[in-house]
Amino acid sequence: MGQEISEARFEKGDHETYLSRLRAETAFLESIFKNRSFSNADPVCGYELEAWIVDDDLNPAPINDKYIKQLSDPMVSPELANFNVEFNFQPRRLHDKVFTQFHQELETLWHKAKTTAQSMDTDLVMIGVLPTVRDSDLTIANISLLNRYHALNEQVLRLRNNRPFELDIQGKDILRMLHPDVMLESATTSFQIHFQVPLDLAVRVYNASIIASAPMVAISANSPFMFSKDLWSETRIRLFEQSVEVGGYEHGSHGPMRRVTFGSGYARESLYECFFENLDHYPVLLPTLFDDDVKELSHLRLHNGTLWRWNRPLIGVENGEYSLRIEHRVVPAGPSIIDTVANAAFYYGLTYELSFMEQAPEQQMGFDRARDNFYNAARLGLDSQIIWLDNNKQPMQSLLLKTLIPLASQGLSRLNVNSNEIDLYLGVIQQRTENACNGTAWQRAFTAKYGMDMHALLAAYLEHQNSGLPVHEWTI
């Protein structure tokens, strides 16, 4: 969905034409897989970080169009709501001192972006769900200017026959409400991790990413509050799934295949299976037509961008060369820059090492169990218990400390990441786990001491974020 489209409205027949081109491109993609015509370059990492613009009162500031023009940086783009922006980072080979490079790049861009925001009497915050966001902020009046977002809202509502979205999140508190458009989605901001791998590793890394989703969402959770309700440890997961709730072909919007989903199963032979599922099970949402050759896969890639698997396979096309990458979408934005880099290091190390286990972990853990683990971890975070590969239920904290962090360290070593890098960034994960203090735990501890004042919470959160310290070192 980062791809802009030329029109927000479509003509009669556009869906049929688009579907015809999508079929042709899906068939061409099948030939690419059969011929193994993918780049076999070493693993590459990349990132997208979403953030909030807030005003002096720490409420969302709907100015991203003016802000982006003022910032004038090609690596920053608008998100769905005009109080959100997205930061993009140059892909890099995943080895040596790659995380120090990412850390420095993020610090430089973040400082520049905050300085620009402050010159406009606003500020930037990286957090999963902004505690101060109000229902009145999440209106169509605050949608960004890009055509793709207006078209997304219109087409999702078309598939739902204009039925409102039903939000039902049952956590420590309960939040139930109706909302008329897709703007609920803009209350969720994330840190999306990209992992480009050779074809021979793609299935294993994709399945490992699915299995790793539970510990990843538990260790990184940073979204407990919405509308002054204490909900899931990572409320963003449940919120996003309900904010664009549209099904597949069967029974229209009530079909069994959701567009925001944990997925329908592991990949078996190749990631082509996901793209065939896209064609076979999901109606076209944005039928914008391109003049590109079938080899560019433009319609296929746009269609894939309107399906939000928590682990989404992506096809890259550059100068006639194709690449495969997995986009890991479960991690929220924040709490700090070093926490962000540590989350990425943990993901890469864990999934890479799982991919080289003698017995594939997807043969040891059924997909249904991986899915149940994920939602349990999203709901309860570091307090969750999940069933791991040995079929034993284990507390998340002890599983991370005894098994998963050591696996991640082995995986980063296998990738030839500098040993000091491994110690530094996995050390952050280690300390966060030992102290049971991720972003959610800190936010809940703050409100337990000072009450449910969301503005006071965000002010303290922002002060600590600006300090640069990892969240496990934040005071209350």
* pTM for the whole structure: 0.96
Listed residue (314, 261, 313, 255) closest to 280, CA to CA? 255
Q: How far is CA 418 from the centre of its chain?
A: 26
Residues forming a β-bridge with 164: none
Q: What angle in degrees, to the nearest 10, is found between the helix axes of 337-355 and 199-220?
A: 140
Amino acid at 42: D
Residues in a beta bridge with 317: 322
Pair of tokens at residue 146: 């890009």
Q: Report the pLDDT averaged over residues 246-261.
A: 64
Q: What is the pLDDT of residues 378-420, one digit of tens each?
A: 999 999 999 999 999 999 999 999 999 999 999 999 999 999 9
Tokens 């995986």 belong to: 411
Query: Per-residue pLDDT tens for 229-242?
Result: 999 999 999 999 99
In contact, 299 and 28? CB cutoff 8 Å: no
The contacts of residue 450 (CB under 8 Å, 6+ apart) are 456, 457
Give the pLDDT confidence score for residue 148 in this predicted structure. 87
pLDDT of residue 166 exceeding 50, the answer is yes
| pLDDT tens per residue across span 329-341 | 999 999 999 999 9
pLDDT of residue 252: 43
pLDDT band at 110 (very low <50, low <70, confident <90, very high): very high
Residue 193's pLDDT is: 98
Largest CA distance in the chain: 61
Amino acid at 404: L
Percent of the chain exceeding pLDDT 90 equals 91
User: Exposed, middle or buried: residue 145 (CB in 10 Å: 0-12, 13-18, 19+)?
Assistant: exposed
pLDDT digits (tens, 9 = 90+) for 195-214: 999 999 999 999 999 999 99
Q: What is the full DSSP assignment across 411-465?
A: HHHHTTB-HHHHHHHHHHHHHHHHTT--HHHHHHHHHHHH-S-HHHHHHHHHHHH
Give the angle 464-48-70 at the CA atoms, nearest 5°.
75
Stretch 119-135: mean pLDDT, rounded? 98
Q: What's the CATH number for 14-471?
A: 3.30.590.20
Give the model's pLDDT for residue 1. Answer: 45
pLDDT for res 213: 98
- pLDDT in the model for residue 251: 41
Query: Does the structure show a pLDDT above 50 at 284?
Result: yes
Q: Give mean pLDDT, residues 75-83.
A: 96
Please report the pLDDT score of residue 253 as a whole number. Answer: 43
